């Protein structure tokens, strides 16, 4: 009985594999038939399809010329803001981007400090500025309330979301250029443009003055503590303490570490401020070089894409008109059923 059941199961599996193979074979034949029909139809309508393809290619070339859409590179870098807010720099970069859109490259070069001693835009500066197609900036967001940035808000999802914290000491800066050799020049120009803004300069000067005042304050506080330490340590009443324990007198010395920790902390703070003051850290700087994030297609690639799209659309439209009677008959038969 068990052997007969096993034989039946084997027969069922064999039949299943045969049925699956037959279905695959029929699907293959159906696909080959449709491909042959499509090729015959394309050959039959070759003139109309060729015209559609050429129109698409021409449209791609026209768009490339109108928008100056040659190969473009999109690059990103992180800008740290020491003396200003991300809101201020975002507005400044938006202003610069408006001149890029208007193709006023002379103004762009002037804003980025690409001028000679007489204040006139240099040829090299104008050439570099003309390669800058777009400037964008995005805020960093702390959605975990941990004090550390977690993501870049590129889509503006958190502009009105009060549940997240916006980081104001950095910006993600994105540029689009048609040539890579000018990227370093553009980066230096952006730093110059942001750093020389009047508000940013005022904040920078205020920071330098604040550092000087903090150094004086820390040194004064350390001096006061040092005077107290000396006064109390050498004071006869403090230096010798007596305790009566079962008759004998025990003399103990005062704590030699008196105020030492506080004085050292103040000296360290003063030293850190002096380092910051001497370094003269730029109010705006990029922590790394711009990195390529994407590359736009070349003119030939874009034109071929447009041509292929036009070819497919024309093929579908011609096929619809060629089979419109069959389609109508099929739809009418469905209504009758």
Per-residue pLDDT band at 298 (split at 50, 70, 90): low
What does the pLDDT look like over 7-46, one tens digit per residue? 555 556 677 777 788 888 888 888 888 888 888 888 888 8
Distance, CA of 43 to CA of 20 (rounded, Å): 35
Read off the pLDDT of residues 73-101 as tens digits, 9 standing for 90 and up: 888 888 887 777 788 888 899 999 999 98
With b for 16 or more beta-carbon neighbours within 10 A and e for fewer, the 149-181 pattern comes to bebbbeeeebeeeeebbbbeebbbbbbbbbbee
> Quick one: average pLDDT of 58-79?
74
pLDDT (average), residues 47-61: 86
Only one residue has tokens 């030492």, namely 260
pLDDT of residue 142: 84
- Cβ atoms 170, 164 nearer than 8 A: no
Q: Model-level pTM?
A: 0.58
Distance CA 173, CA 189 (A): 13
Q: Which of 193-197, 202-206, 209-213 has the lowest mean pLDDT?
A: 202-206
| Cα 294 → chain centroid | 11
pLDDT band at 3 (very low <50, low <70, confident <90, very high): low
The predicted structure's pLDDT at residue 95: 92
Domain segments of the chain: what residues? 2-67+304-314, 73-204+287-295, 206-281
Q: 71 falls in which pLDDT band (50, 70, 90)?
A: low
Instruction: State the pLDDT confidence band at 69, using cuts at 50, 70 and 90.
Output: low
Q: What count of other Cβ atoms lies within 10 Å of the Cβ of residue 279?
A: 8
pLDDT at 246 over 80: no
User: Tell me, what's the pLDDT at 168?
Assistant: 82
Which structure tokens are listed for 11?
A: 């027969």
Provide the token pair at 146: 């941990």
Rounded to whole angstroms, the Cα distance separating 26 from 284 reads 68
Rounded to 10°, the helix 183-195/86-101 angle is 130
How, if at all, do strands 291-295 and 165-177 pair? Answer: unpaired
């Amino acid at each position: 009985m068990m052997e007969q059941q096993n034989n039946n199961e084997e027969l069922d599996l064999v039949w299943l594999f045969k049925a699956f193979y037959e279905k695959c074979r029929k699907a293959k034949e159906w696909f080959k038939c449709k491909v042959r029909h499509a090729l015959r139809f394309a050959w039959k309508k070759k003139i109309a399809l060729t015209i559609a393809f050429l129109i698409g290619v021409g449209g791609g070339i026209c768009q490339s010329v109108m928008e100056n859409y040659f190969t473009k590179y999109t690059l990103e870098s992180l800008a740290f803001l020491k003396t200003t807010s991300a809101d201020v720099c975002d507005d400044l970069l938006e202003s610069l981007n408006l001149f890029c859109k208007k193709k006023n490259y002379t103004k762009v070069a002037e804003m980025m400090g690409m001028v000679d001693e007489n204040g006139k835009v240099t040829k090299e500066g104008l050439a570099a500025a003309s390669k800058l197609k777009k400037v964008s900036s995005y805020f960093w967001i702390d959605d975990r309330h941990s004090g550390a940035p977690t993501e870049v808000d590129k889509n503006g999802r958190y502009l009105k979301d009060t549940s997240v914290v916006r980081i104001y000491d950095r910006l993600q800066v994105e540029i689009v250029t048609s040539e890579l050799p000018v990227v370093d020049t553009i980066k230096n120009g952006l730093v110059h443009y942001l750093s020389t803004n009047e508000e940013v300069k005022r904040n920078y000067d205020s920071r330098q003055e604040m550092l000087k005042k903090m150094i004086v304050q820390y040194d004064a506080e350390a001096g006061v503590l040092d005077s107290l330490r000396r006064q109390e340590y050498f004071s006869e009443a403090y230096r010798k303490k007596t305790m009566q324990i079962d008759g004998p007198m025990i003399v103990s010395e005062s704590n030699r570490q008196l105020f030492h920790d506080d004085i050292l902390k103040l000296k360290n703070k003063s030293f850190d401020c002096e380092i910051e003051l001497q370094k003269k850290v730029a109010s705006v700087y990029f922590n790394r070089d711009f990195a390529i994030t994407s590359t736009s297609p070349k003119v030939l690639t874009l034109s071929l894409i447009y041509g292929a799209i036009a070819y497919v659309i024309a093929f579908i439209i011609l096929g619809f008109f060629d089979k419109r009677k069959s389609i109508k008959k099929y739809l009418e038969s469905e209504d009758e059923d």
